[in-house]
Amino acid sequence: MKRQLIVCASLLLSVGCDRSAKEDQSRADQAQREANEKAARAQDEALQKSAKAQHEADDKAARANEEARKDMAEGQTKANETIREANQDIVKARNDFQIRAQKSVNDLDNHIDKMRTDAQKANGKAQAAFEAAMRDVDAKRAALDSDLQSIRTQPVQQFDSFKAKVDKELDDLKKSIDVAHDKL
């Protein structure tokens, strides 16, 4: 009977050990599942945070791009306004100069016409000297007229030098007219 008791005790002990190992394995499996679930939740949270951060960064970049586009548009608008104002100033300066030059030419033409009328009353020698002097006046007047015709086609960068050239031509024409007048 002792032997049966020992066999029974051994069986009970081995069954008890199996349960304990099974329970340990079950607990280990449960712990692993919980750890896996916890890791999966942590990974999901990390992905959500990353996605949220990326979305915020994208939004911030989009706002910055939009702001930059607005700034560029405003800058271009201001530049266009400045260009228009500069072009208007150039056109006004050209028009003012053309009006002033044309008025001077008209005054000189009137003076030339009066001198031609006076020359008809002068003696032959004075008329000949006057006509010789008038060839220079006519040549200078033709050159001035040619330049005045090209005023609108002058590049902005060269307008000041063109203006100086026309002013000099006007002065030279006045001097030639004075020389011709002195011949009368």
What's the mean pLDDT in 7-25? Answer: 61
pLDDT attached to residue 4:
53
pLDDT at residue 133, as a whole number:
96
pLDDT of residue 19: 62
pLDDT of amino acid 5: 46
DSSP H or E segment with residue 43: helix 2-121
Please check the confidence at residue 86 and state whether its pLDDT lies above 50: yes
What pLDDT, on the 0 to 100 scale, is given for residue 21?
85
**Which tokens belong to 65?**
């791009």
Q: What angle do CA 173, 179, 184 make, to 5 degrees?
A: 130
- Region 14-38: what's the mean pLDDT? 82
CA angle 175, 181, 184 (to 5 degrees): 155
Average pLDDT, the chain: 90
CA angle 94, 95, 101 (to 5 degrees): 85
Q: Are 104 and 172 in contact (CB under 8 A)?
A: no
Over residues 53-59, mean pLDDT: 94
- Find the mean pLDDT for residues 54-60: 94
CA angle 56, 62, 64 (to 5 degrees): 105
Interval 62-88 mean pLDDT: 95
| 53 or 8, greater pLDDT | 53
Q: What is the pLDDT of residue 12?
A: 46
Asked if residue 16 has pLDDT above 80, the reply is: no
User: What pLDDT does 152 receive?
Assistant: 87
pLDDT of amino acid 3 = 53
pLDDT of 8 higher than 50 = no
